[in-house]
Chain A
Amino acid sequence: MNEVASLDAALVGARPQAMGALLRHFRDLDTAEEAFQEACLRALQSWPAKGPPRDPAAWLIFVGKNATLDRLRRSQKQQPLPADDALSDLDDAEARMATQLDDVHYRDDILRLLFICCHPDLPATQQIALALRIVSGLSVAEIARAFLVSEAAMEQRITRAKHRVADADVPFEPPDAAARATRLSAVATVIYLLFNEGYSATGGTAHVRAPLCDEAIRLARLLLRLFPGEPEIMGLTALLLFQHSRTPARLDTDGAIVLLEDQDRRLWKRDLISEGLALLDKAMRHRQPGPFQVQAAIAALHGRAARPEDTDWNEIDTLYATLERLQPSPVVTLNRAVAVSKVRGAEAALAMIEPLARQLSGYFYFFGLRGALLQKLGRDEEARNAFDRAIALANTPAEAAHIRMQLDRLAKS
């Protein structure tokens, strides 16, 4: 690995903790960001010669704080201070003291930083964009590319989000247990959305959006390190690992969707599956099931099956029934119907999804599944209608292409 790349990893790795502490000091996202940028610039000047410090985050917090205080003082008094000399002599002892002070707040700092970005007042697209910018440190250009919008539009979206959270007035005192739980759950949801943003990418967009999945997993692991005893965060991390393990098999070389049962399972990333299973094992010991854990358990059953026919659909059906209780939604029932079709047949599955027709009248997957079930029952004309609706509702060209393939099969039969 070259030197620049390793410096980069140190800066990226230290970013959440450093930004979290700087935000606590300055109580303003823009000032914290400028302080962090300033500290990074100085790190890039100083680290290559001296080597990176033992504790990059403490160094960045210390330097960022001082440099910014000096700048603020200078701009107030118009009096230059000999800041640079003092800072370049910064030794480890001072940085250590700064860490000791900051370690106490470490966990809540990062959680606050994440929570501000994931603030419930923000629409999901702004939450994700702000988290990527502030916590992950992606450039506006990178985020714009991932969301397939112009840089100017993304800049605007992020600025708007920042104004909104400034108005929202998130308290800076350490949160109590209930507030901490609320923050944790809001953050977990946004990490999940961030992952999906990357995961739903198809064809030509897959390569620019896959890093969003990696970033979501990194944030989930970070969150779990801060809150090691939270079964839902274990579940979330496991779920993302299972989903991501299938990435290499989800699209064929033309960028077309490959369904779970047609995927080449040898391409699945085994190390991610093992890590997910280890986390799920840990979560289960708590006997506090939650939506992320149940979804992870479902994904694990797919991950464990060497061949599609080895899948334990009975257990998946049971788990979806649990999920319906924990988090009732027509989409969960729709997913359950897939398991039901395997266990009790297409007729039963169709009966299960018919009542959802009104709620899911604009949902691509509803008509995709409905068509497939009708086709199995030999009701070709109705199947064709359902597939036509699905094509009209497809979110991506790959989805539409997939349904067209089903229609072709119908025409041939």
Chain B
Amino acid sequence: MLYAIFCYDSEDIVGAWTKEQDDAAIAKLGVVKQKLAQAGRLGPTVRLMPTTTATTVRKGREPIVLDGPFAETKEQLLGFYIVDCASLEQAIETAKDLGRASSSLGSYEIRPLRLFHPGSLAT
């Protein structure tokens, strides 16, 4: 079974780390990642840019584009895509395309990636 593990943390605190503290935290995680990779168990890993870079598209007949991250608590995270886009505009269009293809309401939060490692899972 494949599992996704999402990281939640306080942006106030992580944002207050010095570069040294950030590097140290990443290095510690790197050790765990390396073990997983050696065992052939590590898929894509991602570090997102800060929530200030987020844009949210609310699905609907006329989709609404909002600045900022997804903020509702009535809905749950059900999945995600990683898409190569030339611009935010293209990313928004892509989200709208996805929205047109699904009949439910709900939202897409668009966040640029800061880091992307494809991983080495056999699929």
A, B co-complexed:
yes
Residues in A whose Cβ lies below 8 Å from that of B11: 225
Residues 48-78 (chain B) with a chain A CB within 8 angstroms: 49-55, 65-69
Contact of A271 among B13, B52, B67, B114 (CB under 8 A): B114
Whether, in the assembled complex, B99 has its beta carbon less than 8 Å from a beta carbon of chain A, the answer is no
Per-residue contact bits, chain B 35-55, to A (CB 8 Å; 1 contact, 0 not): 000000000000001111111
Residues 1-52 (chain A) with a chain B CB within 8 angstroms: 1, 5-6, 9-10, 12-14, 17
Residues 1-56 (chain B) with a chain A CB within 8 angstroms: 10-18, 21, 24-25, 28, 49-55
Q: Give complex CA distance A321, B71 in Å.
A: 39
Whether, in the assembled complex, A263 has its beta carbon less than 8 Å from a beta carbon of chain B, the answer is no
Q: Give complex CA distance A57, B13 in Å.
A: 10
Looking at the assembled complex, report how far the CB atom of A80 sits from the nearest CB atom of chain B, in whole angstroms: 35
Residues A285 and B89 in contact, CB atoms below 8 Å apart: yes
Q: Give complex CA distance A279, B28 in Å.
A: 30
Nearest chain A residue, comparing its CB with the CB of B112:
A278
Residues in A whose Cβ lies below 8 Å from that of B105: none
Nearest chain B residue, comparing its CB with the CB of A54:
B10
Whether, in the assembled complex, A342 has its beta carbon less than 8 Å from a beta carbon of chain B, the answer is no
Contact of A282 among B25, B55, B114 (CB under 8 A): B55
Q: Give complex CA distance A7, B17 in Å.
A: 10
Residues in B whose Cβ lies below 8 Å from that of A205: none
Nearest chain B residue, comparing its CB with the CB of A220:
B52
Residues A218 and B88 in contact, CB atoms below 8 Å apart: no
Nearest chain A residue, comparing its CB with the CB of B53:
A278
Contact of A279 among B10, B25, B52 (CB under 8 A): B52
Q: How many A residues face the partner with a CB closer than 8 A?
A: 29
Residues B52 and A9 in contact, CB atoms below 8 Å apart: no
Residues in B whose Cβ lies below 8 Å from that of A12: 16
- Assess A228 versus B16: contact at CB under 8 Å? Given A221-B52, A281-B88: no
Residues in B whose Cβ lies below 8 Å from that of A237: 52
Residues in A whose Cβ lies below 8 Å from that of B24: 1
Looking at the assembled complex, report how far the CB atom of A67 sits from the nearest CB atom of chain B, in whole angstroms: 22
Dominant secondary structure of chain A at its interface with chain B = helix
Per-residue contact bits, chain A 209-249, to B (CB 8 Å; 1 contact, 0 not): 00000100010011011001100001001000000000000
Residues in B whose Cβ lies below 8 Å from that of A14: 12-13
Nearest chain A residue, comparing its CB with the CB of B23:
A1
Q: Give complex CA distance A12, B65 in Å.
A: 33
Looking at the assembled complex, report how far the CB atom of A164 sits from the nearest CB atom of chain B, in whole angstroms: 28
Residues B68 and A17 in contact, CB atoms below 8 Å apart: no
Q: Give complex CA distance A17, B66 in Å.
A: 24
Residues in A whose Cβ lies below 8 Å from that of B104: none
Q: Give complex CA distance A12, B11 in Å.
A: 12
Residues in A whose Cβ lies below 8 Å from that of B18: 214
Q: Give complex CA distance A56, B10 in Å.
A: 10
Per-residue contact bits, chain A 272-299, to B (CB 8 Å; 1 contact, 0 not): 0011001101100100000000000000
Residues in B whose Cβ lies below 8 Å from that of A282: 53, 55, 67, 88
Nearest chain B residue, comparing its CB with the CB of A286:
B67
Q: Give complex CA distance A271, B11 in Å.
A: 17
Q: Footprint of B on A, CB under 8 Å?
A: 1, 5-6, 9-10, 12-14, 17, 56-57, 214, 218, 221-222, 224-225, 228-229, 234, 237, 271, 274-275, 278-279, 281-282, 285
Q: Footprint of A on B, CB under 8 Å?
A: 10-18, 21, 24-25, 28, 49-55, 65-69, 87-89, 112, 114
Further pairs besides A1-B17, A237-B52: 6, Cβ < 8 Å: A1-B25, A10-B10, A56-B13, A218-B16, A225-B52, A279-B52
List the 6 closest A-B pairs by CB distance, nearest first: A228-B68, A13-B12, A281-B88, A13-B13, A13-B16, A12-B16
